[in-house]
Amino acid sequence: LQWIDDYRIDALRLDAADRIEDRSPKHFLQELAETVQGRAAQLRRHVHLIAESCLDRGQMVEPRERHGYGLDAQWADDFHHSVHALLTADRSGYYKDFGALEQLARAYRNAFIYRDPYIPHRARVPGTPAQQIPGERFVVFAQNHDQVGNPMFGERLSKLAGFEELKLVAGLMLLSPFIPLLFMGEEYGEEAPFPFFVSFSDPALSDAVRDGRIRDFAAFEWAGQPPDPAAESTFERAKLDHALGDSGRGRLLSNLYRELLRLRREVGALARRSRTDLEVMADDTQGVLMVRRWDGHGEALAVFNTGEAGGSVAVAPGTRWQKAIDSSEELWGGSGAGVPGLFDGCIERTLELKPRSFVLFIGESNPEVAR
C-alpha cells in the first residue's frame, strides 16, 4: 500500500502472477485486490491491478462471485505471440505453437487461444472460455519489456519487420476490443535495442544472471554471445532516440497512432469493449482478417491483410461504408490507396488490399437495402 499512499501510483503490474501458489482459504491475489480496492475507495481514486499470467484462464479477472480473484486486468500473451509469429516468421521457443491467422482471430474473439488443443511448448491444456469477460479486462501488445528484452540481443519489432508491418501492428492493436499497451518508443518505431541489463553490487549475483540467461537461450536455439547484462555498455545501448519521431517514417507512424487513438475514442463501435458486438472472420489462405464491430448507432469494419501478397475480401451488402484509414495510402507512407473511399453497400463488394496493410471503414445501416 505504500506505493499507493506515498507515491500515488495508480497501477501495479503483478509479475508472474500465475506462479503465486497459495492454498489459504482466501488466495493472496484475492486478498490483495480487496485491500487495494478498499484503500482506493477511501482515497477516492481508482488503482488498477494488472496480472501477468501465461495461463489461458480468466480466474485472475473474474469477479469473486464467480470464484475469481477480482483483479482489474491481465496481459493477453496469446495476442502478442500470434502477431509476432505471423509477421516475423519466428518459430523459436514458444513461437513454435503459433503462426496461423486463425489463432489471431481466436485471440480477438476469446483473448485466449488455447482452450482444447494440446500445447507442445507448455506441455498441457490450460485454457478456459473467456468470451464472457469484457475486453477492458485484457491488455494486448505487440512489444513489451519481456518480449523485447528476453531475446538474446533485445531487438525491437522495428528491426525484425518492415514499415508496412509496423503500421499493420498499430491497426491490429488499437482496433481491437482490448486495452492496448505500447512499449516505450513503439509509437514512432524506436530502433534502439532493449537488451536485458542489471546493476547488482554482488558479483556472484551478476554471474548467476549471466549463466541463467545462457540456459534460457538454449530453448530458442539462438546463436552468438549475448551482451553482458552487468556491463554499463549494455544499458547505454537501450537509450531511446526520441528525435526519430520528429521526421520521416517515425513521424508518419506517430501520426498514425494518434489518428487510430482518436478514432478509438470517438467512434462508438470502437469505443465499446464488448465482445458480444463483434464478428471476426479469417482467411488463412490469403492471410486476410476481417473484424466487424457495432453498437446501437453504427458499425466499424477493419480488414487486415497479414500476407506478403495482395489479398481480397467480400463485404456483404446492407451498410454504407466510409473509409477512415487506409495504411497503404501515401498519407501514411504507403504506395497508394488500394480500396475505394466510399461504397453504398447496395451490392456485395470485393475489396483488394495491398500486402501487409489494413483498412478501417465506418458504416451505418443502409435503409434502402434493409427494405
Query: C-alpha cell of 233?
Result: 555498455
On whether the CB atoms of residues 302 and 286 are closer than 8 A, the answer is no
- Mean pLDDT of the 149-171 span: 96
Cα separation of 108 and 176, whole Å? 7
- Choosing from 52, 62, 77, 187, the catalytic residue is 52
Q: What is the pLDDT of residues 194-236, one digit of tens each?
A: 999 999 999 999 999 988 888 878 777 777 888 999 999 999 9
Maximum distance among all Cα pairs of the chain, rounded to whole angstroms: 77
Cα separation of 73 and 140, whole Å? 10
Cα separation of 166 and 291, whole Å? 19
Output 114 or 172, whichever has higher pLDDT.
Answer: 172
Mean pLDDT of the chain: 91
All structural domains of the chain, each given as residue ranges with its CATH number in brackets, are 2-194+242-246 (3.20.20.80), 203-237 (no CATH), 275-370 (2.60.40.1180)
- Please check the confidence at residue 367 and state whether its pLDDT lies above 50: no
- Please check the confidence at residue 70 and state whether its pLDDT lies above 80: yes
On whether the CB atoms of residues 28 and 20 are closer than 8 A, the answer is yes
Residue 116: per-residue pLDDT: 53
Query: C-alpha cell of 196?
Result: 536485458
Residue 124: per-residue pLDDT: 52
R_g (Cα) of the chain, nearest Å: 22
Residue 337: per-residue pLDDT: 83
Planar angle of CA 267, 110, 132, nearest 5 degrees: 85
**Residues of the chain above pLDDT 70, percent:** 94
Cα separation of 204 and 217, whole Å? 20
SS (H, E, C) the chain: CHHHHCCCCCEEEECCHHHCCCCCCCCHHHHHHHHHHHHHHHHCCCCEEEECCCCCCCCCCCCHHHCCCCCCEEECHHHHHHHHHHHHCCCCHHHHHCCCHHHHHHHHHHCCCCCCCCECCCCECCCCCCCCCCHHHEEECCCCHHHHHCCCCCCCHHHHCCHHHHHHHHHHHHCCCCEECCCCCHHHCCCCCCCCCCCCCCHHHHHHHHHHHHHHHHCCCCCCCCCCCCCHHHHHHCCCCHHHHHCHHHHHHHHHHHHHHHHHHHCHHHHCCCCCCEEEEEECCCCEEEEEEECCCCEEEEEEECCCCCEEEEECCCEEEEEEEECCCHHHCCCCCCCCCEECCCCCEEEEECCCEEEEEEEEECHHHHC
Residue 248: per-residue pLDDT: 98
Q: What is the pLDDT of residues 248-290, one digit of tens each?
A: 999 999 999 999 999 999 999 999 888 889 999 999 999 999 9
CB neighbour list of residue 330: distance below 8 Å, 6 or more residues apart: 336, 337
pLDDT band at 344 (very low <50, low <70, confident <90, very high): confident
Residue 222: per-residue pLDDT: 75
Cα separation of 94 and 56, whole Å? 14
- Choosing from 15, 211, 344, 364, the catalytic residue is 15
From 83, 249, 297, select the one nearest 178 (Cα to Cα): 83
- Please check the confidence at residue 82 and state whether its pLDDT lies above 80: yes
Cα separation of 51 and 179, whole Å? 13
Quick check: is 15 catalytic? yes
- Mean pLDDT of the 135-144 span: 97
Output 341 or 359, whichever has higher pLDDT.
Answer: 359
pLDDT band at 120 (very low <50, low <70, confident <90, very high): low
- Mean pLDDT of the 8-24 span: 94
How far the first Cα of the chain sits from its last, in Å, is 59
From 255, 253, 252, 79, select the one nearest 166 (Cα to Cα): 253
Cα separation of 67 and 202, whole Å? 43
Cα separation of 52 and 174, whole Å? 20
Quick check: is 364 catalytic? no
